[in-house]
A and B are shown apart, each in its own frame.
Chain A
């Protein structure tokens, strides 16, 4: 199967990737990789919830802190989880908490993993990955 010949569920590629970003694992569900999707969804969700419970921060860009821009990409990479957490007033972070850095690590990792899932969805959708 060559590039551009991947199996897609009748959705435009951009919509598929957008859905894959919004809900961890949804891209894989839509492409019929359901068992892997459940594992991916669970891993990202557990990582995100542990990050919140550890009082980690959903880092957004801070003026004068260039690294915060990279962190923000990972934070927003969590998709719907990020927006839900902000809506519920979670993820402000408690820098004095002993688990604050661990919380940040879990939250950033969850976002990066979800972004990798979007890339994986892309690879499957265009036929670069067949499983």
Chain B
């Protein structure tokens, strides 16, 4: 449970599923939206992490 990446991935997954079911009606559209939100959250967090790399403190 202490693995940060696993927790971040789980969080992104839960949010993606939640908003896909909240905002999209069509199952196909819902699936595409969930994948998009999941990837944006996950890759966005990694990107921000790398951007913060030169500023450790």
Q: Which residues of B contact A109 (CB under 8 A)?
A: 11, 14-15
Residue interface bits B1-31, CB-to-A below 8 A is 1, else 0 = 1101001101100110110011001000000
* Majority-rule SS of A interface residues: helix
CB closest chain-A residue, reference B4: A102
Say if the beta carbon of A23 comes within 8 Å of chain B: no
Give the number of residue pairs across the A-B interface with Cβ within 8 Å.
39
Minimum C-beta distance from B5 to chain A (A): 11
Contact status B22-A131, CB under 8 Å: no
Interface residues on B, range: 10 to 19
Complex A-B: 21 CB contacts under 8 Å: A36-B21, A39-B18, A39-B21, A40-B18, A43-B14, A43-B18, A50-B1, A50-B7, A50-B10, A53-B1, A54-B1, A54-B7, A99-B7, A102-B4, A102-B11, A105-B11, A106-B11, A109-B15, A117-B22, A120-B22, A131-B25
